[in-house]
Amino acid sequence: MIWVNDILGNRDEQVYQYKFNVMASDIDKIRRDYKSRSLDEADLHNDPIQMFLKWFDEAGQSGSLDVNAMTLATVDESGKPSTRIVLLKGVENDSFVFFTNYLSRKGQNLAANPNVSLCFFWPELERQIRIDGTCSKIASVDSEKYFRSRPYESQIGAWASAQSSIISSRTELENNFKSLMQKYPTPESIPFPEFWGGYKVNPTEIEFWQGRSSRLHDRFLYLKQKNSWTLNRMSP
């Protein structure tokens, strides 16, 4: 597996601050022209996974904050959509891996409908990648291996939060966290939560978007057909 931390290396984090001198009533006036880069077919790799890793590495080198943050869109059994930001934690066997509570809203959605969409946006590079595909759980042994690599407090946090459930107050959550720290004082004492683990997204299409001037953006779409990919330029 290619882990996100391996890709990023040990570079210092750079925080980019954006200042907008507009009020909510001026939302329609917020715009900027994308002029920094272009994307031509000659720039593309035959394998969209390798192309993703290239862009991911360039985003990391640009100082993009939370470079592995991605929007995850799911739908429930009735077709109602839901989105949230999750963190990419690895790229393995041409699939994209993230971790969560299986009993959370997203976990329940995935149990009902495995079709998902991911979206990365790196404003520093004026780039976006959309990935559509199907989602499934990774092996429990791999989930536990990653769980054990997490900081002690993050391991406790997985137990402390019944993700997506209603709680009475912040105090309830913090008291539960403190109680679990007393119950499991060391990382070695924390049991692996069977309700928590990883998912992998197996892509069926991957689109690379490069912002261009006058909204004439460059878009290229890879479509998977059996074991190969076809590539087409799309109108912006």
Listed in order, strand segments (DSSP E) in the chain are 2-3, 69-75, 81-87, 90-92, 95-101, 115-122, 127-137, 196-210, 218-225, 228-234
Quick check: 68 and 135 in contact, CB under 8 A?
no
The answer to whether 215 is a known catalytic residue is yes
What tokens does 133 get?
A: 């595909």
Whole-prediction pTM value? 0.87
- Residue in 11, 32, 105, 215 annotated catalytic: 215
pLDDT in tens, the chain (236 residues): 655 655 555 444 444 344 445 677 788 888 888 888 999 999 999 999 999 999 999 999 998 889 999 999 999 999 999 999 999 999 999 999 999 999 999 999 999 999 999 999 999 999 999 999 999 999 999 999 999 999 999 999 999 999 999 999 999 999 999 999 999 999 999 999 999 999 999 999 999 999 999 999 999 999 999 889 999 999 99
Fold (CATH) for 32-149+195-234: Pnp Oxidase; Chain A (2.30.110)
In this structure, how many other beta carbons lie within 10 angstroms of the beta carbon of residue 97? 22
- Burial category of 4 from C-beta neighbours within 10 Å (exposed 0-12, middle 13-18, buried 19 and up): middle
